[in-house]
Structure 1
Amino acid sequence: MHLKINHANIGYDKTLISDANADLNLGEVCLLIGNNGVGKTTLIKSILHQISLLKGEILIDNKNVKNLSVKEIAKNIAVVFSKSTIPQNYTVEDLISLGKYIYYPFYFELKNNDRAEVREIIQELDLSQYTNTLLKNLSDGNLQKAFIGRAITQNSQIIILDEPTTHLDEKNKLIILKTLRKLAKQQNKIILFSSHDWRLAKEFADKMWYIKDHHLYSGIVEDVLLQHDELTDVSLFQINDDFVAPSIDSPLIQKEMLYSLLQKNFQKDLSSFNFRLNESIWEISYHNNLYKCESFEEIVKLIPNLH
Protein backbone atom coordinates (compact mmCIF):
# COMPACT_ATOMS: atom_id res chain seq x y z
CA MET A 1 0.00 0.00 0.00
CA HIS A 2 1.27 3.49 -0.76
CA LEU A 3 0.26 7.10 -1.33
CA LYS A 4 0.96 8.55 -4.76
CA ILE A 5 0.38 11.98 -6.32
CA ASN A 6 0.41 12.08 -10.13
CA HIS A 7 0.67 15.36 -12.10
CA ALA A 8 -1.73 17.10 -9.72
CA ASN A 9 -2.72 20.75 -9.75
CA ILE A 10 -3.81 21.57 -6.21
CA GLY A 11 -5.85 24.58 -5.09
CA TYR A 12 -9.29 26.12 -4.98
CA ASP A 13 -10.20 28.60 -7.72
CA LYS A 14 -6.55 29.03 -8.60
CA THR A 15 -3.61 26.63 -8.55
CA LEU A 16 -1.43 26.74 -5.43
CA ILE A 17 0.74 23.75 -6.35
CA SER A 18 1.33 22.95 -10.00
CA ASP A 19 2.02 19.52 -11.56
CA ALA A 20 2.83 17.84 -8.23
CA ASN A 21 4.41 14.39 -8.27
CA ALA A 22 5.32 12.51 -5.08
CA ASP A 23 4.90 9.15 -3.40
CA LEU A 24 5.21 7.57 0.03
CA ASN A 25 5.57 3.90 0.91
CA LEU A 26 4.56 2.05 4.04
CA GLY A 27 7.05 2.53 6.87
CA GLU A 28 8.06 6.05 5.78
CA VAL A 29 7.81 9.31 7.72
CA CYS A 30 7.49 12.45 5.60
CA LEU A 31 7.84 16.09 6.63
CA LEU A 32 5.66 18.58 4.71
CA ILE A 33 7.15 22.06 4.88
CA GLY A 34 6.61 25.46 3.32
CA ASN A 35 5.75 29.05 4.21
CA ASN A 36 2.28 30.02 5.38
CA GLY A 37 -0.22 30.20 2.55
CA VAL A 38 1.66 28.05 0.03
CA GLY A 39 -0.84 25.20 0.17
CA LYS A 40 0.22 22.72 2.88
CA THR A 41 -3.25 22.35 4.40
CA THR A 42 -4.82 22.44 0.93
CA LEU A 43 -2.59 19.54 -0.10
CA ILE A 44 -3.67 17.57 2.99
CA LYS A 45 -7.34 18.24 2.25
CA SER A 46 -6.81 17.14 -1.35
CA ILE A 47 -5.38 13.81 -0.16
CA LEU A 48 -8.51 13.41 1.99
CA HIS A 49 -10.64 14.39 -1.04
CA GLN A 50 -12.16 17.23 0.94
CA ILE A 51 -11.01 19.41 -1.97
CA SER A 52 -11.11 18.19 -5.57
CA LEU A 53 -7.96 18.36 -7.66
CA LEU A 54 -7.82 20.86 -10.51
CA LYS A 55 -5.87 18.29 -12.53
CA GLY A 56 -4.22 14.88 -12.02
CA GLU A 57 -4.88 12.19 -9.43
CA ILE A 58 -4.08 11.04 -5.90
CA LEU A 59 -3.95 7.30 -5.29
CA ILE A 60 -4.07 5.23 -2.11
CA ASP A 61 -3.02 1.65 -2.76
CA ASN A 62 -3.61 2.30 -6.48
CA LYS A 63 -7.18 3.49 -5.83
CA ASN A 64 -8.13 7.04 -6.77
CA VAL A 65 -9.30 8.91 -3.65
CA LYS A 66 -12.17 10.49 -5.58
CA ASN A 67 -13.67 7.01 -5.93
CA LEU A 68 -13.44 6.19 -2.21
CA SER A 69 -16.30 6.75 0.23
CA VAL A 70 -15.86 8.90 3.33
CA LYS A 71 -15.76 5.74 5.47
CA GLU A 72 -13.14 4.12 3.20
CA ILE A 73 -10.95 7.21 3.43
CA ALA A 74 -11.36 7.22 7.25
CA LYS A 75 -10.25 3.59 7.43
CA ASN A 76 -7.18 4.37 5.33
CA ILE A 77 -6.25 7.77 6.75
CA ALA A 78 -6.29 9.21 10.28
CA VAL A 79 -5.87 12.98 10.38
CA VAL A 80 -5.21 15.65 13.00
CA PHE A 81 -5.64 19.28 11.96
CA SER A 82 -3.94 22.10 13.84
CA LYS A 83 -7.33 23.57 14.77
CA SER A 84 -9.67 20.79 15.88
CA THR A 85 -13.10 21.14 17.47
CA ILE A 86 -12.97 20.19 21.16
CA PRO A 87 -15.80 17.80 22.12
CA GLN A 88 -17.59 19.19 25.17
CA ASN A 89 -17.47 17.13 28.39
CA TYR A 90 -14.98 14.61 26.92
CA THR A 91 -12.02 13.37 28.90
CA VAL A 92 -8.63 12.44 27.44
CA GLU A 93 -9.61 8.77 27.50
CA ASP A 94 -12.93 9.53 25.77
CA LEU A 95 -11.22 11.42 22.93
CA ILE A 96 -8.50 8.85 22.33
CA SER A 97 -11.10 6.06 22.38
CA LEU A 98 -12.98 7.81 19.55
CA GLY A 99 -10.44 6.47 17.09
CA LYS A 100 -11.94 3.00 17.56
CA TYR A 101 -15.49 3.94 16.67
CA ILE A 102 -14.93 3.91 12.90
CA TYR A 103 -15.04 0.13 13.35
CA TYR A 104 -18.22 0.00 15.50
CA PRO A 105 -21.63 1.64 15.72
CA PHE A 106 -21.10 4.51 18.15
CA TYR A 107 -23.36 3.04 20.84
CA PHE A 108 -21.29 -0.19 21.12
CA GLU A 109 -18.95 -0.76 24.06
CA LEU A 110 -15.29 -1.08 23.17
CA LYS A 111 -13.71 -4.50 23.54
CA ASN A 112 -11.19 -5.13 26.32
CA ASN A 113 -8.27 -5.27 23.89
CA ASP A 114 -9.34 -1.89 22.46
CA ARG A 115 -9.40 -0.36 25.94
CA ALA A 116 -5.97 -1.84 26.69
CA GLU A 117 -4.60 -0.27 23.50
CA VAL A 118 -6.06 3.11 24.46
CA ARG A 119 -4.39 2.90 27.89
CA GLU A 120 -1.06 1.98 26.27
CA ILE A 121 -1.21 4.98 23.92
CA ILE A 122 -2.13 7.31 26.80
CA GLN A 123 0.95 6.09 28.66
CA GLU A 124 3.25 6.37 25.65
CA LEU A 125 2.16 9.98 25.08
CA ASP A 126 2.87 10.79 28.75
CA LEU A 127 -0.80 11.59 29.41
CA SER A 128 -1.52 9.04 32.17
CA GLN A 129 -2.09 11.68 34.83
CA TYR A 130 -4.71 13.32 32.59
CA THR A 131 -6.67 10.16 31.67
CA ASN A 132 -9.89 11.40 33.28
CA THR A 133 -9.26 15.13 32.82
CA LEU A 134 -11.77 17.09 30.75
CA LEU A 135 -10.31 18.33 27.47
CA LYS A 136 -11.30 21.93 28.25
CA ASN A 137 -9.00 21.81 31.29
CA LEU A 138 -5.88 20.71 29.37
CA SER A 139 -3.00 22.88 28.23
CA ASP A 140 -2.70 23.43 24.47
CA GLY A 141 0.21 20.99 24.35
CA ASN A 142 -1.52 18.14 26.15
CA LEU A 143 -4.70 18.74 24.14
CA GLN A 144 -2.71 18.37 20.93
CA LYS A 145 -1.17 15.14 22.22
CA ALA A 146 -4.67 13.81 23.01
CA PHE A 147 -5.86 14.50 19.45
CA ILE A 148 -2.75 12.73 18.13
CA GLY A 149 -3.58 9.80 20.40
CA ARG A 150 -7.05 9.64 18.85
CA ALA A 151 -5.47 9.40 15.39
CA ILE A 152 -3.12 6.63 16.52
CA THR A 153 -5.93 4.49 17.94
CA GLN A 154 -7.72 4.65 14.60
CA ASN A 155 -5.14 2.10 13.35
CA SER A 156 -5.20 3.49 9.81
CA GLN A 157 -2.28 2.75 7.49
CA ILE A 158 -1.76 6.48 6.88
CA ILE A 159 -1.61 9.16 9.58
CA ILE A 160 -1.58 12.82 8.50
CA LEU A 161 -0.89 15.59 11.02
CA ASP A 162 -1.13 19.31 10.31
CA GLU A 163 1.43 21.15 12.50
CA PRO A 164 1.36 18.52 15.30
CA THR A 165 4.16 20.09 17.36
CA THR A 166 3.05 23.76 17.19
CA HIS A 167 2.03 24.07 20.86
CA LEU A 168 4.54 21.62 22.30
CA ASP A 169 7.71 22.26 24.28
CA GLU A 170 10.93 20.46 23.34
CA LYS A 171 10.26 17.47 25.62
CA ASN A 172 6.81 16.86 24.17
CA LYS A 173 8.00 17.45 20.60
CA LEU A 174 10.46 14.61 21.10
CA ILE A 175 7.76 12.35 22.59
CA ILE A 176 5.48 12.95 19.59
CA LEU A 177 8.17 12.62 16.91
CA LYS A 178 9.67 9.48 18.45
CA THR A 179 6.20 7.96 18.78
CA LEU A 180 5.37 8.74 15.14
CA ARG A 181 8.62 7.28 13.86
CA LYS A 182 8.18 4.18 16.03
CA LEU A 183 4.67 3.73 14.60
CA ALA A 184 5.93 4.01 11.04
CA LYS A 185 8.75 1.52 11.49
CA GLN A 186 7.18 -1.02 13.85
CA GLN A 187 3.62 -0.98 12.50
CA ASN A 188 4.49 -0.21 8.86
CA LYS A 189 2.50 3.02 8.58
CA ILE A 190 2.89 6.11 6.44
CA ILE A 191 3.26 9.24 8.58
CA LEU A 192 2.90 12.63 6.86
CA PHE A 193 3.19 15.71 9.05
CA SER A 194 3.66 19.39 8.42
CA SER A 195 5.96 21.55 10.51
CA HIS A 196 8.05 24.71 10.45
CA ASP A 197 10.65 23.18 12.77
CA TRP A 198 12.74 21.34 10.19
CA ARG A 199 15.83 21.22 12.44
CA LEU A 200 14.08 18.80 14.77
CA ALA A 201 11.95 17.14 12.13
CA LYS A 202 14.87 16.14 9.92
CA GLU A 203 16.06 13.81 12.65
CA PHE A 204 12.83 11.82 12.40
CA ALA A 205 11.60 12.04 8.79
CA ASP A 206 12.71 9.84 5.90
CA LYS A 207 11.34 12.05 3.15
CA MET A 208 10.47 15.70 2.71
CA TRP A 209 7.80 17.46 0.68
CA TYR A 210 8.78 21.12 0.30
CA ILE A 211 6.33 23.57 -1.30
CA LYS A 212 7.91 26.66 -2.84
CA ASP A 213 6.95 28.87 -5.79
CA HIS A 214 3.93 26.67 -6.63
CA HIS A 215 6.13 23.59 -6.91
CA LEU A 216 6.29 20.46 -4.72
CA TYR A 217 9.88 19.28 -4.23
CA SER A 218 10.00 15.72 -2.88
CA GLY A 219 12.69 13.22 -1.96
CA ILE A 220 14.85 11.98 0.87
CA VAL A 221 15.10 14.68 3.57
CA GLU A 222 18.80 15.39 3.36
CA ASP A 223 18.78 15.64 -0.45
CA VAL A 224 15.90 18.13 -0.47
CA LEU A 225 17.50 20.24 2.28
CA LEU A 226 20.78 20.52 0.43
CA GLN A 227 18.98 21.64 -2.72
CA HIS A 228 17.50 24.64 -0.87
CA ASP A 229 19.96 26.80 1.06
CA GLU A 230 17.18 28.71 2.83
CA LEU A 231 16.23 25.57 4.77
CA THR A 232 19.60 24.68 6.22
CA ASP A 233 21.31 25.77 9.40
CA VAL A 234 24.23 23.94 10.96
CA SER A 235 23.39 22.13 14.21
CA LEU A 236 23.95 18.53 15.25
CA PHE A 237 21.58 16.60 17.50
CA GLN A 238 22.47 13.35 19.27
CA ILE A 239 19.17 11.47 19.48
CA ASN A 240 20.44 7.90 19.27
CA ASP A 241 22.62 6.77 22.19
CA ASP A 242 23.56 3.51 20.40
CA PHE A 243 24.96 5.29 17.38
CA VAL A 244 28.75 5.61 16.96
CA ALA A 245 29.59 8.06 14.20
CA PRO A 246 32.03 7.40 11.36
CA SER A 247 34.74 9.77 10.22
CA ILE A 248 33.20 12.42 7.95
CA ASP A 249 35.39 14.70 5.82
CA SER A 250 33.17 17.33 4.22
CA PRO A 251 31.95 20.92 4.61
CA LEU A 252 30.00 21.35 7.83
CA ILE A 253 26.51 21.50 6.34
CA GLN A 254 27.00 18.27 4.38
CA LYS A 255 28.48 16.69 7.49
CA GLU A 256 25.34 17.63 9.42
CA MET A 257 23.09 16.09 6.78
CA LEU A 258 25.09 12.84 6.62
CA TYR A 259 25.33 12.60 10.41
CA SER A 260 21.57 12.94 10.88
CA LEU A 261 20.88 10.50 8.04
CA LEU A 262 23.15 7.79 9.48
CA GLN A 263 22.10 7.99 13.13
CA LYS A 264 18.45 8.08 12.12
CA ASN A 265 18.70 4.90 10.05
CA PHE A 266 21.46 2.85 11.73
CA GLN A 267 21.55 2.09 15.45
CA LYS A 268 25.05 0.63 15.33
CA ASP A 269 28.76 1.37 15.45
CA LEU A 270 29.87 2.92 12.15
CA SER A 271 33.29 4.00 13.38
CA SER A 272 35.02 1.70 10.86
CA PHE A 273 33.58 3.76 7.99
CA ASN A 274 35.17 6.87 6.50
CA PHE A 275 33.10 9.27 4.43
CA ARG A 276 34.71 11.91 2.23
CA LEU A 277 32.85 14.32 -0.04
CA ASN A 278 34.79 14.75 -3.28
CA GLU A 279 33.01 17.51 -5.19
CA SER A 280 29.47 16.04 -5.40
CA ILE A 281 30.44 12.37 -4.84
CA TRP A 282 30.59 10.65 -1.46
CA GLU A 283 33.63 8.36 -1.27
CA ILE A 284 33.12 5.68 1.39
CA SER A 285 36.07 3.67 2.71
CA TYR A 286 35.34 0.43 4.53
CA HIS A 287 37.76 -2.48 5.18
CA ASN A 288 40.19 -1.25 2.51
CA ASN A 289 37.44 -1.02 -0.11
CA LEU A 290 36.23 2.20 -1.71
CA TYR A 291 32.62 2.83 -2.67
CA LYS A 292 31.09 5.88 -4.34
CA CYS A 293 27.58 7.28 -3.93
CA GLU A 294 25.99 10.23 -5.68
CA SER A 295 23.14 10.74 -3.20
CA PHE A 296 22.07 10.06 0.37
CA GLU A 297 19.54 7.57 -0.92
CA GLU A 298 22.38 5.49 -2.39
CA ILE A 299 24.22 5.63 0.95
CA VAL A 300 21.17 4.33 2.85
CA LYS A 301 20.93 1.40 0.45
CA LEU A 302 24.68 0.67 0.50
CA ILE A 303 25.43 0.54 4.24
CA PRO A 304 23.25 -2.51 5.13
CA ASN A 305 25.05 -4.52 2.43
CA LEU A 306 28.46 -3.72 3.92
CA HIS A 307 27.85 -3.82 7.68
Structure 2
Amino acid sequence: MKEKTKTKPILQAQELSIGYSDKIVAEDISLKINEAELVAVIGINGSGKSTLLKTLTGNLKCLSGTISIQQKNINEISVQKLSELISIVLTETQFSQNLLVEELVALGRQPYTNWLGQLSNKDINAVKQALQLLEIEDKSKRKCGSLSDGQLQKVFLARAIAQETPLIFLDEPTTHLDLYHKIFVLKLLKTLSRRTNKSIVFATHEINLALQLCDQIILVSNGKVTQKTPEELINSNLLQELFPKDLVEFDAATKNFKVL
Protein backbone atom coordinates (compact mmCIF):
# COMPACT_ATOMS: atom_id res chain seq x y z
CA MET A 1 0.00 0.00 0.00
CA LYS A 2 1.29 3.47 -0.86
CA GLU A 3 2.33 5.74 1.96
CA LYS A 4 0.02 8.71 2.24
CA THR A 5 1.71 11.93 1.19
CA LYS A 6 0.62 15.55 1.30
CA THR A 7 -2.23 15.97 -1.16
CA LYS A 8 -3.91 18.82 -3.00
CA PRO A 9 -7.61 19.59 -3.47
CA ILE A 10 -9.36 17.99 -6.41
CA LEU A 11 -12.84 19.30 -5.58
CA GLN A 12 -13.80 22.48 -3.75
CA ALA A 13 -17.16 24.01 -2.88
CA GLN A 14 -17.54 27.59 -1.69
CA GLU A 15 -20.56 29.40 -0.22
CA LEU A 16 -22.78 26.63 -1.54
CA SER A 17 -26.53 26.40 -1.05
CA ILE A 18 -28.18 23.12 -2.01
CA GLY A 19 -31.77 22.00 -2.40
CA TYR A 20 -34.66 22.51 -4.77
CA SER A 21 -36.57 25.48 -6.17
CA ASP A 22 -39.04 25.40 -3.29
CA LYS A 23 -36.72 24.26 -0.50
CA ILE A 24 -33.19 25.00 0.73
CA VAL A 25 -31.74 21.83 2.25
CA ALA A 26 -28.45 23.32 3.46
CA GLU A 27 -26.56 26.58 2.89
CA ASP A 28 -23.27 28.38 3.44
CA ILE A 29 -21.33 25.21 2.59
CA SER A 30 -17.58 25.26 2.10
CA LEU A 31 -15.70 22.00 1.74
CA LYS A 32 -12.64 20.49 0.12
CA ILE A 33 -11.92 16.99 -1.17
CA ASN A 34 -8.22 16.15 -1.44
CA GLU A 35 -6.51 13.61 -3.67
CA ALA A 36 -6.27 10.05 -2.35
CA GLU A 37 -8.64 10.63 0.57
CA LEU A 38 -11.57 8.57 1.82
CA VAL A 39 -14.41 10.87 2.85
CA ALA A 40 -17.70 9.86 4.48
CA VAL A 41 -20.89 11.93 4.32
CA ILE A 42 -22.99 11.26 7.42
CA GLY A 43 -26.27 12.50 8.88
CA ILE A 44 -29.69 11.31 9.93
CA ASN A 45 -32.33 10.20 7.40
CA GLY A 46 -33.62 13.16 5.42
CA SER A 47 -30.77 15.46 6.43
CA GLY A 48 -29.65 16.04 2.84
CA LYS A 49 -26.78 13.59 2.26
CA SER A 50 -28.06 12.46 -1.14
CA THR A 51 -28.87 16.04 -2.15
CA LEU A 52 -25.30 17.03 -1.36
CA LEU A 53 -23.87 14.14 -3.39
CA LYS A 54 -26.15 14.92 -6.34
CA THR A 55 -25.03 18.54 -6.25
CA LEU A 56 -21.32 17.80 -5.97
CA THR A 57 -21.52 15.39 -8.93
CA GLY A 58 -23.36 17.87 -11.14
CA ASN A 59 -26.63 15.92 -11.20
CA LEU A 60 -28.42 18.71 -9.34
CA LYS A 61 -27.81 22.43 -9.81
CA CYS A 62 -26.69 24.26 -6.71
CA LEU A 63 -28.94 27.15 -5.63
CA SER A 64 -25.94 29.42 -5.16
CA GLY A 65 -22.18 29.24 -4.71
CA THR A 66 -19.54 27.42 -6.75
CA ILE A 67 -18.18 23.91 -7.19
CA SER A 68 -14.77 23.46 -8.80
CA ILE A 69 -13.13 20.24 -9.98
CA GLN A 70 -9.42 20.46 -10.71
CA GLN A 71 -9.82 24.22 -10.33
CA LYS A 72 -12.49 24.49 -13.06
CA ASN A 73 -16.09 25.50 -12.39
CA ILE A 74 -18.32 22.44 -12.73
CA ASN A 75 -20.80 24.47 -14.83
CA GLU A 76 -18.08 24.95 -17.45
CA ILE A 77 -17.31 21.22 -17.72
CA SER A 78 -19.07 19.28 -20.49
CA VAL A 79 -21.04 16.13 -19.70
CA GLN A 80 -18.43 14.10 -21.59
CA LYS A 81 -15.52 15.59 -19.65
CA LEU A 82 -17.41 15.24 -16.35
CA SER A 83 -17.77 11.49 -16.98
CA GLU A 84 -13.96 11.35 -17.21
CA LEU A 85 -13.63 13.12 -13.84
CA ILE A 86 -16.41 11.55 -11.75
CA SER A 87 -17.75 8.01 -11.49
CA ILE A 88 -20.86 7.27 -9.44
CA VAL A 89 -21.97 4.06 -7.71
CA LEU A 90 -25.60 4.14 -6.59
CA THR A 91 -27.25 1.84 -4.04
CA GLU A 92 -30.01 0.65 -6.34
CA THR A 93 -28.43 0.36 -9.77
CA GLN A 94 -30.45 -1.10 -12.62
CA PHE A 95 -28.61 -3.73 -14.64
CA SER A 96 -29.28 -6.89 -16.62
CA GLN A 97 -28.96 -10.02 -14.49
CA ASN A 98 -27.63 -11.80 -17.58
CA LEU A 99 -24.63 -9.48 -18.02
CA LEU A 100 -21.29 -11.12 -17.39
CA VAL A 101 -19.16 -9.55 -14.68
CA GLU A 102 -16.57 -8.40 -17.22
CA GLU A 103 -19.33 -6.86 -19.35
CA LEU A 104 -20.71 -4.84 -16.44
CA VAL A 105 -17.23 -3.64 -15.50
CA ALA A 106 -16.58 -2.72 -19.15
CA LEU A 107 -19.53 -0.30 -19.00
CA GLY A 108 -17.19 1.95 -17.06
CA ARG A 109 -15.29 2.51 -20.30
CA GLN A 110 -18.25 4.18 -22.06
CA PRO A 111 -16.76 7.70 -21.79
CA TYR A 112 -13.83 6.55 -23.92
CA THR A 113 -15.29 4.08 -26.43
CA ASN A 114 -16.40 5.00 -29.93
CA TRP A 115 -20.05 5.36 -30.90
CA LEU A 116 -20.28 1.60 -31.48
CA GLY A 117 -19.05 0.93 -27.97
CA GLN A 118 -16.09 -1.11 -29.18
CA LEU A 119 -13.35 -1.68 -26.62
CA SER A 120 -9.79 -0.79 -27.54
CA ASN A 121 -6.78 -2.61 -26.10
CA LYS A 122 -6.51 0.21 -23.57
CA ASP A 123 -10.14 -0.33 -22.54
CA ILE A 124 -9.65 -4.09 -22.21
CA ASN A 125 -6.54 -3.57 -20.07
CA ALA A 126 -8.40 -1.10 -17.82
CA VAL A 127 -11.15 -3.68 -17.27
CA LYS A 128 -8.62 -6.43 -16.49
CA GLN A 129 -6.75 -4.21 -14.04
CA ALA A 130 -9.98 -3.26 -12.26
CA LEU A 131 -10.99 -6.92 -11.94
CA GLN A 132 -7.57 -7.76 -10.54
CA LEU A 133 -7.57 -4.84 -8.12
CA LEU A 134 -10.93 -5.96 -6.70
CA GLU A 135 -9.77 -9.61 -6.76
CA ILE A 136 -12.73 -10.78 -8.86
CA GLU A 137 -10.97 -11.79 -12.08
CA ASP A 138 -11.99 -15.39 -11.36
CA LYS A 139 -15.65 -14.29 -11.58
CA SER A 140 -15.30 -12.38 -14.86
CA LYS A 141 -17.35 -14.94 -16.84
CA ARG A 142 -20.11 -15.34 -14.26
CA LYS A 143 -23.52 -13.75 -14.73
CA CYS A 144 -24.13 -10.84 -12.40
CA GLY A 145 -27.45 -12.33 -11.32
CA SER A 146 -25.59 -15.24 -9.70
CA LEU A 147 -23.52 -13.05 -7.37
CA SER A 148 -24.04 -12.29 -3.69
CA ASP A 149 -24.66 -8.70 -2.60
CA GLY A 150 -21.06 -8.38 -1.43
CA GLN A 151 -19.66 -9.74 -4.69
CA LEU A 152 -21.93 -7.48 -6.73
CA GLN A 153 -20.78 -4.46 -4.75
CA LYS A 154 -17.19 -5.29 -5.71
CA VAL A 155 -18.24 -5.50 -9.37
CA PHE A 156 -19.76 -2.00 -9.24
CA LEU A 157 -16.59 -0.71 -7.59
CA ALA A 158 -14.55 -2.36 -10.34
CA ARG A 159 -16.69 -0.59 -12.93
CA ALA A 160 -15.96 2.72 -11.21
CA ILE A 161 -12.24 1.94 -11.12
CA ALA A 162 -12.30 0.98 -14.81
CA GLN A 163 -13.79 4.38 -15.60
CA GLU A 164 -10.42 5.83 -14.49
CA THR A 165 -11.77 8.99 -12.87
CA PRO A 166 -9.94 10.86 -10.10
CA LEU A 167 -13.21 11.11 -8.12
CA ILE A 168 -15.57 8.31 -7.10
CA PHE A 169 -18.90 8.97 -5.36
CA LEU A 170 -20.93 6.22 -3.71
CA ASP A 171 -24.39 6.39 -2.16
CA GLU A 172 -24.76 3.94 0.75
CA PRO A 173 -22.27 1.32 -0.53
CA THR A 174 -22.88 -1.03 2.44
CA THR A 175 -26.68 -1.22 2.22
CA HIS A 176 -27.98 -4.83 2.51
CA LEU A 177 -24.58 -6.12 3.73
CA ASP A 178 -23.89 -7.88 7.03
CA LEU A 179 -21.38 -6.44 9.50
CA TYR A 180 -18.41 -8.38 8.13
CA HIS A 181 -19.05 -7.25 4.57
CA LYS A 182 -19.74 -3.66 5.67
CA ILE A 183 -16.26 -3.58 7.20
CA PHE A 184 -14.81 -5.40 4.20
CA VAL A 185 -16.21 -2.87 1.70
CA LEU A 186 -15.16 0.20 3.69
CA LYS A 187 -11.65 -1.15 4.26
CA LEU A 188 -11.53 -1.91 0.54
CA LEU A 189 -12.46 1.71 -0.23
CA LYS A 190 -9.67 2.87 2.06
CA THR A 191 -7.17 0.61 0.28
CA LEU A 192 -8.37 1.72 -3.16
CA SER A 193 -8.00 5.39 -2.30
CA ARG A 194 -4.37 4.76 -1.45
CA ARG A 195 -3.44 2.34 -4.22
CA THR A 196 -5.13 4.28 -7.02
CA ASN A 197 -4.64 7.82 -5.67
CA LYS A 198 -8.36 8.41 -6.17
CA SER A 199 -10.62 10.50 -3.96
CA ILE A 200 -13.57 8.42 -2.74
CA VAL A 201 -16.63 10.08 -1.22
CA PHE A 202 -19.52 8.00 0.12
CA ALA A 203 -22.76 8.59 2.00
CA THR A 204 -23.25 6.20 4.89
CA HIS A 205 -25.16 5.42 8.08
CA GLU A 206 -22.17 3.44 9.38
CA ILE A 207 -20.89 6.34 11.48
CA ASN A 208 -18.83 4.22 13.89
CA LEU A 209 -16.94 2.59 11.00
CA ALA A 210 -16.50 5.89 9.16
CA LEU A 211 -14.89 7.45 12.22
CA GLN A 212 -12.36 4.61 12.32
CA LEU A 213 -11.50 4.42 8.62
CA CYS A 214 -11.98 7.80 6.94
CA ASP A 215 -9.62 10.72 6.45
CA GLN A 216 -12.42 13.29 6.52
CA ILE A 217 -16.06 13.32 7.64
CA ILE A 218 -18.72 15.60 6.17
CA LEU A 219 -21.64 15.97 8.61
CA VAL A 220 -25.01 17.11 7.23
CA SER A 221 -27.26 18.23 10.07
CA ASN A 222 -29.94 20.86 10.66
CA GLY A 223 -29.34 22.64 7.37
CA LYS A 224 -25.59 22.91 7.89
CA VAL A 225 -22.67 20.98 6.42
CA THR A 226 -19.51 20.58 8.49
CA GLN A 227 -16.25 18.99 7.33
CA LYS A 228 -13.71 17.76 9.88
CA THR A 229 -11.26 14.96 10.51
CA PRO A 230 -12.74 12.15 12.62
CA GLU A 231 -10.80 13.33 15.67
CA GLU A 232 -11.91 16.94 15.21
CA LEU A 233 -15.53 15.84 14.83
CA ILE A 234 -15.39 13.71 17.97
CA ASN A 235 -13.94 16.62 19.96
CA SER A 236 -16.49 19.10 18.60
CA ASN A 237 -19.49 17.56 20.44
CA LEU A 238 -21.51 17.68 17.20
CA LEU A 239 -22.01 13.91 17.27
CA GLN A 240 -23.55 14.11 20.73
CA GLU A 241 -26.23 16.38 19.23
CA LEU A 242 -26.95 14.24 16.17
CA PHE A 243 -29.71 12.06 17.64
CA PRO A 244 -32.36 12.58 20.35
CA LYS A 245 -30.89 11.55 23.69
CA ASP A 246 -33.72 9.23 24.75
CA LEU A 247 -32.41 6.13 22.93
CA VAL A 248 -28.79 6.62 21.86
CA GLU A 249 -25.77 8.75 22.71
CA PHE A 250 -22.24 9.16 21.45
CA ASP A 251 -19.43 8.09 23.78
CA ALA A 252 -16.31 10.12 22.90
CA ALA A 253 -14.10 7.83 25.01
CA THR A 254 -14.93 4.72 22.94
CA LYS A 255 -15.70 6.65 19.72
CA ASN A 256 -19.01 4.78 19.41
CA PHE A 257 -22.73 5.35 19.63
CA LYS A 258 -24.34 3.30 22.38
CA VAL A 259 -27.88 2.37 23.27
CA LEU A 260 -29.22 3.87 26.49
TM-score range, shorter chain: 0.7 to 0.9
Match of 2:186 in 1: 177
Q: CA deviation at 1:193?
A: 0.6
Q: 1:210 to 1:170 in 2, by over 3 A?
A: same
Match of 1:132 among 141, 160, 163: 141
Structure-2 separation of matches of 1:131 and 1:11: 40
Match of 1:151 among 127, 145, 160: 160
Q: CA deviation at 1:233?
A: 4.4
Q: Which amino acid aligns with 2:96?
A: P
Match of 2:253 in 1: 252
Match of 1:107 among 94, 109, 117: 117
Q: CA deviation at 1:123?
A: 4.3
Match of 1:34 in 2: 43
Q: Conserved in 1, the CA contact under 8 Å of 2:86 and 2:166?
A: yes
TM-score normalised over the length of structure 2? 0.82
Q: 1:24 to 1:49 in 2, by over 3 A?
A: same
Match of 1:58 in 2: 67
Q: Conserved in 2, the CA contact under 8 Å of 1:160 and 1:193?
A: yes
Matches of residues 267-278 of structure 1 in structure 2 within 5 Å? none
Q: Which amino acid aligns with 2:188?
A: T
Q: CA deviation at 1:124?
A: 4.2
- Find the structure with the greater CA-based Rg: 1
Match of 2:15 among 1, 7, 26: 7
Match of 1:214 in 2: 223
Structure-1 separation of matches of 2:137 and 2:193: 23
**Local SS of the residue matching 1:108:** coil
Q: CA deviation at 1:141?
A: 3.0
Relative contact order higher in (CA < 8 Å, ≥ 6 apart): 2
Q: 1:115 to 1:176 in 2, by over 3 A?
A: farther
Structure-1 separation of matches of 2:221 and 2:179: 27
Structure-2 separation of matches of 1:200 and 1:130: 28
Match of 1:98 in 2: 107
Q: CA deviation at 1:39?
A: 1.2
Gaps of at least 5 residues in structure 2 are 1-8, 243-248
Q: CA deviation at 1:215?
A: 0.2
Q: Conserved in 2, the CA contact under 8 Å of 1:86 and 1:136?
A: no
Q: Which amino acid aligns with 1:38?
A: S
Give identity over the alignment, percent.
33
Structure-1 separation of matches of 2:11 and 2:204: 20
**Local SS of the residue matching 1:59:** strand
**Local SS of the residue matching 2:212:** coil
Q: CA deviation at 1:129?
A: 4.8
Q: 1:100 to 1:139 in 2, by over 3 A?
A: same
Q: CA deviation at 1:118?
A: 2.8
Q: Conserved in 1, the CA contact under 8 Å of 2:130 and 2:159?
A: no
Match of 1:202 in 2: 211
Q: Conserved in 1, the CA contact under 8 Å of 2:84 and 2:165?
A: yes
Q: Which amino acid aligns with 2:117?
A: Y
Gaps of at least 5 residues in structure 1 are 235-250, 258-307
Deviations 1:207-261 (A, max 9, x none): 0000000000111122113322256745xxxxxxxxxxxxxxxx834xx59xxxx
TM-score normalised over the length of structure 1? 0.71
